[in-house]
Amino acid sequence: MLRRRLRSAGRRTGPPTRLTGIGTGLLAVVGTLAVGGADRLLFGDLGVLFGLGFLFVCFQAAVRVRLADLPAAPISGPIAFAAALALLTPTPAPGVVGQVLALCSGLALRAGWLFGGTGLAALIVAARFVAQRRIRRGRG
């Protein structure tokens, strides 16, 4: 009897927990920085692991955001990507100019991952928006 109660207590029923716009942005920044830091630590530079991790973070952000905050998912991805590049790429020259050059070249060299993750989040958000509108039309 006690085991049955403990098993059912761990199961959650009802709608899944959703993130606010700020929570989505925080998830994107922390997730992207974590994956970028791991890639930098393991391989010395931001490469394929960083790109795949960014795609995963964008997917999770788009799936977990609340319906009221849907635009936050495709917006927070590129911001997190740029923040990770600014913090994790080595600068070729000291100072602000070196940091700007490193950020610009990092964005140019990894544009495919950036557009892929942003596009993935935008497609998921658009599909969720259309599905929600169809559900509301069916009720009313």
Mean pLDDT for 108-131 is 96
pLDDT tens-place string over residues 49-103? 999 999 999 999 999 999 999 999 999 999 999 999 999 988 888 888 989 999 9
Confidence class of residue 117 from pLDDT cuts 50, 70 and 90?
very high
At 91 the pLDDT is 82
Q: What percent of the chain has pLDDT over 70?
A: 89
Confidence class of residue 136 from pLDDT cuts 50, 70 and 90?
confident
Q: What are phi and psi of 19, to 5 degrees?
A: -95, 145
Q: Coil, strand, or helix at residue 65?
A: strand
CA–CA separation, 27 vs 63, rounded Å?
12
Confidence class of residue 17 from pLDDT cuts 50, 70 and 90?
confident
At 50 the pLDDT is 97
In the chain, where are the structural domains located? 19-139
DSSP code for 92: S
At 92 the pLDDT is 80
At 111 the pLDDT is 96
